[in-house]
A and B are shown apart, each in its own frame.
Chain A
Amino acid sequence: MPPRYENSGKESRSVMKEITYILNGETITTHVDPRWSLFELLRGEVSSIKRGCDVGECGACTVLIDGKTYNSCIYLAVWANGKHIRTVESLSMPDGSPGELQKAFMDDGAVQCGFCTPGFLLSATALIEEDRTFTREEIRRQLSGNLCRCTGYENIINAVEKTINKHIDNRGTK
């Protein structure tokens, strides 16, 4: 069961709602409490997303929904119905080894405590999947919804820039 907050103590009648969604390629049908955030729903399924601020400011809880980034802490669980949701678990290779972007983060010192990392990986994935180049300034802007208290951001941007450029180069040589 996902973790629950204490509510105000008022008598709350809550009817569980059935939803069906796709998580990292797997179809899941389940009942959700309409008071749950998507974060609470997904923590019962995957461990990569982290609870940071809970108010949509730090981006630690970032998920990809139909290819776009969202803060799962301020997204209602019931809204997941019919959506394709991806977390960091979807970035690994089939054999479980780290994907390109994750390797770049490791190689470039973009990970210290690692708490912000899942959020950054997904925001960066959204950029890579746009299939075009970005200036460093544009990368900064696109990652501005993710906060890091350890690295000072430079290495994160290096890793993302490197991966985007590699992706574009590889595409060109196909």
Chain B
Amino acid sequence: MFDISNLFEATSVEDAISLLETHEQARVIAGGSDILIKLREGELSGCDLVSIFGLDELRGITLGADGTITIRPLSSFSLIEKDENIRNLQALSEAAAQVGGPQIRNIATIGGNICNGAVSADSAPALLTYDAVLELKSSNGVRIVPIHDFYTGPGKVDLGRAELLVGIHIKRQSYEGFGGCYIKYSARRAMDISMLGCAVNLKLSADKKYVEKLCLAYGVAAPTPIRARTAEKEAEGALFNEELLEKVSKLAQEDAMPRTSWRASKEFRLHLLGELCRRAMRTAAKRAGLS
């Protein structure tokens, strides 16, 4: 049995917010694949949990009339991987497809993945390259926070104690005409946490020879998931060739701040930063229609 003091099952979003306000020590449990494992390992012992798992209103992916894709936070990674709308957002569908294994993908939610603030979250780099916007709800109303502002420090996110993520929105101009790719570098081919994650979302010129826009993001390369802004600027308007890939990947290494940890040395991470950038860009460009 899990060392939980109290489990409150929310009946609605409002009920969940109210429960979080009433029980000051309580945390949210969505799919549970982070929290329940932490409990097994002795962390969070005796915690109070507010379960939002039953809130079907927070599941699903919809396409708005203006082309905005809305992902509800309890959507599982297997749902996201297979969804028709996400098929065109290859960086995100590839990221969803590489989380854990099949059983984990069925239970783990994209909301939990970003709200627990882990820098290794597979969905984070992809969402950064799609300039995702987060809809957060509390008793004070709704806040709209761009994902770029959501990560505030290592493991920290801009989410109030009694606040819920209720929507992830991706605008049409962030994905239409783009080609994407997510590469997850890890020791195992499944059931592993990313040692470095690289997401690319790229748009080519009309003649498919030049880069119109490059969005390049990394997980586990810095204290938070990041966009490699200097590298992106270098690519804008440039002819897509190996020479560009060399320039961009070098700048990406400088944009990131990788460090040595038990998982990998700084030198290896720098090498990965450069190599994954080139590979992901090649794939994304092909998907964007490179001639």
A contact residues vs B (CB 8 Å cutoff): 4-5, 7-8, 10, 12-14, 17, 33-37, 40, 54-57, 59, 62, 68-71, 74-76, 78-79, 123, 126, 141-145
Does B6 lie at the interface of the complex (its beta carbon under 8 Å from any beta carbon of A)?
yes
Residues of B within 8 A of A36 (CB): 1-2
- Quick check: B2 and A70 within 8 Å, CB to CB? no
Task: Name the one of A34, A40, A54 contacting B40, with C-beta atoms under 8 angstroms.
Answer: A54
Once A74-B36, A142-B102, A144-B191 are accepted as A-B contacts, the answer to whether A35 and B4 lie under 8 Å apart by CB is: yes
26 A-B interface contacts by CB (under 8 A)? A5-B1, A5-B3, A8-B45, A10-B3, A12-B3, A12-B5, A33-B1, A37-B1, A54-B40, A55-B40, A55-B41, A59-B101, A62-B103, A69-B102, A70-B103, A70-B107, A71-B107, A74-B40, A75-B107, A79-B51, A123-B103, A141-B102, A144-B101, A144-B102, A145-B101, A145-B191
Is B78 interfacial (CB 8 A cutoff)?
Answer: yes
Selected contact of A7 from candidates B1, B100, B101, CB within 8 Å: B1
* Nearest-Cβ distance from residue B204 to partner chain A, whole angstroms: 30
Contact B3 A8 (CB under 8 A): yes
* B contacts, CB < 8 Å to A: 1-7, 9, 29, 32-33, 36-37, 40-41, 45-46, 51, 53-54, 78, 100-104, 106-107, 189-191
Closest to B53 in A: A79
**Docked-complex contact B1 and A4, CB < 8 angstroms:** yes
Q: Are A70 and B106 in contact, CB atoms less than 8 angstroms apart?
A: yes
Q: A34-B4, A40-B1, A55-B37 are in contact. List 4 more A-B contacts (CB 8 A).
A: A5-B3, A36-B1, A76-B2, A126-B102
Q: Which residues of B contact A78 (CB under 8 A)?
A: 7, 9, 51
| Chain A minimum-CB-distance residue to B79 | A68
Whether the pair B32, A35 counts as a contact (CB closer than 8 A) is no
Closest Cβ neighbor of B46 among chain A residues: A10
Set of chain B residues within 8 Å of A70, measured between Cβ atoms: 103, 106-107
Task: Determine whether the beta carbon of B102 is less than 8 Å from that of A35.
Answer: no
A56-B103, A76-B53, A79-B54 as given contacts; A13 in contact with B191, CB under 8 Å = no
CB closest residue in chain B, given A68: B106
The residues of A that contact B32 with a CB separation of less than 8 Å are 74-76
Q: Are A12 and B36 in contact (CB under 8 A)?
A: no
Q: Which residue on chain B has the smallest CB distance to residue A76? A: B32
Shortest CB-to-CB span from B263 to chain A, Å, is 17
Residue contact A59 to B4, C-beta cutoff 8 Å? no
Q: In the complex, are the beta carbons of B1 and A74 less than 8 A apart?
A: no
Contact check, A59 vs B103: say whether CB atoms are below 8 A apart: yes
Tell me the bound Cα distance from A13 to B8 in angstroms: 12
Instruction: Give the distance to chain B from A67, nearest Cβ to Cβ, in Å.
Output: 10
CA of A143 to CA of B78, assembled, Å:
14
Given A144-B191, A145-B101, A10:B5 Cβ within 8 A: yes
Q: How far is the CA of A70 from the CA of B54 in the complex (A)?
A: 16
What's the minimum C-beta distance from A59 to chain B, rounded to whole angstroms? Answer: 6
Question: Within 8 Å CB of B106, what residues of A?
Answer: 68-70
Closest to A4 in B: B1
In the complex, which residues of chain A have a beta carbon less than 8 angstroms from the beta carbon of B100? 145
Distance between Cα atoms of A13 and B48 in the complex (Å)? 11
Known: A8-B3, A37-B2, A71-B107. A56 touches B33 (CB 8 A): yes
B97 nearest CB neighbor, chain A only: A141
A74 contacts B7, C-beta separation under 8 Å = no
Q: Are B37 and A35 in contact (CB under 8 A)?
A: no
Query: By the criterion CB–CB under 8 Å, are B103 and A71 in contact?
Result: yes
A69 touches B103 (CB 8 A): yes
The residues of B that contact A8 with a CB separation of less than 8 Å are: 3, 45-46
B103 lies within 8 A of A35 (CB) = no
Q: How far is the CA of A69 from the CA of B76 in the complex (A)?
A: 13
Interchain CA distance A36-B7 in the complex, whole Å:
11
Query: Would you give the shortest CB distance from B45 to chain A, in whole angstroms?
Result: 4
Contact present for B102 and A74 (CB under 8 Å):
no
User: Which A residues are in CB contact (< 8 Å) with B189?
Assistant: 144
Report how far A13 CA is from B78 CA in the complex, Å. Answer: 35
List residues of chain B with CB within 8 A of the CB of A126.
102
In the assembly, what is the distance between CA of A94 and CA of B143, in Å? Answer: 56
| Cβ-defined partner of A74 (8 Å) among B5, B9, B37, B78 | B37
